[in-house]
Amino acid sequence: MRLDKFLCKSTELTRAAATECIELGTVSVNDQVITEARFQVHENNSVVWKGERLVARPSRYIMLHKPLNTLSSNVDGDYPSLFHCIDIDRAEDLHIVGRLDADTSGLVLLTDDGRWSFEIIRPEKQCPKTYRVTLRDPIDDNVAVKFLAGVQLQNESQLTAPAQLNIVTKTEVLLTITEGRYHQVKRMFAAVGNRVNGLHREQIGSLKLDVELGLWRYLTPKEVADFL
């Protein structure tokens, strides 16, 4: 963890104030004064500020049911930020693990644990994500085979990784992918001549969405550990 982030997690300092304290030489790590905010701190390091050894607050892990027409961002834009759904102290310290488009609803994870989120989103992890997709046109019977083999997306050279398609009705399907390419689900159906009219993420890894629209809850220790 960066030293400036460690200070934020162990004090009430803002990121800017933490950086200033570090640059002024008021913070030491293992009895050595550190003036670089990006200096990496590990669990067994002794971090001291103003003569007091600091202890970071426990990391937080949150499941949120993202509504439509909200942004996966900590600031408002053309639509309001999904952070309006979360009323907790220091929500600004959280980051989003795997963003969703404004017109997509469903499961979003938030945390202030950078190493945990990296384990979920790094490509080598191939963490599966399941989406409920509403289509413009009835699904062709051969699309499941095409998705399993991989399809060619526009302006990309590599086929998509194998994806699992389960047909619910002719215009509603469940799609599980292990990649996170730009607008991937929409582009996959465009590649087979269809169009996505509605998109909702139901599951990440083994974690299924189980809170009502616009609500959130903390993950259990087991749910957190399942991603590692």
Least confident of 3-12, 188-197, 209-218: 3-12
Predicted confidence (pLDDT) at residue 105 exceeds the cutoff of 90: yes
Of 37, 53, 69, the domain-final residue: 53
Q: Whole-model pTM? A: 0.88
Q: Which of 92, 101, 94 is nearest to 72 (CA)?
A: 101
Q: Are residues 133 and 176 in the same domain?
A: yes
DSSP, res 29: E
DSSP code for 109: E
What region, left, alpha or beta, does residue 67 occupy, with left being phi > 0 and alpha being psi -120 to 50 degrees?
beta
User: What CATH number is attached to the domain comprising 198?
Assistant: 3.30.70.1560
The verdict on 45 and 145 lying in the same domain is: no
Give the CATH number of the domain where residue 68 resides: 3.30.70.580
Q: What is the pLDDT of residues 21-42, one digit of tens each?
A: 999 999 999 999 999 999 999 9
Q: What CATH number does residue 44 fall under?
A: 3.10.290.10
Quote the tokens at residue 173.
């399907």
**Do 139 and 200 belong together in one domain?**
yes
Give the domain extent around 14. 3-53
Of the candidates 227, 221, 173, the residue with the CA atom closest to the CA atom of residue 196: 173
Phi, psi of 145 (to 5 degrees): -65, -40
On whether both 38 and 79 belong to a single domain, the answer is no
101 assigned to active site: yes
Domain match, 85 and 183 both: no
Q: Are 132 and 119 in contact (CB under 8 A)?
A: no
pLDDT digits (tens, 9 = 90+) for 145-192: 999 999 999 989 999 999 999 999 999 999 999 999 999 999 999 999
Please tell me whether residues 198 and 211 are part of one structural domain. Answer: no
How confident is the prediction for the chain on average, in pLDDT?
A: 95
Q: How many domains does the chain have?
A: 3
| Judgement on whether residues 117 and 180 belong to the same structural domain of the protein | no
Catalytic residue among 4, 87, 93, 101: 101
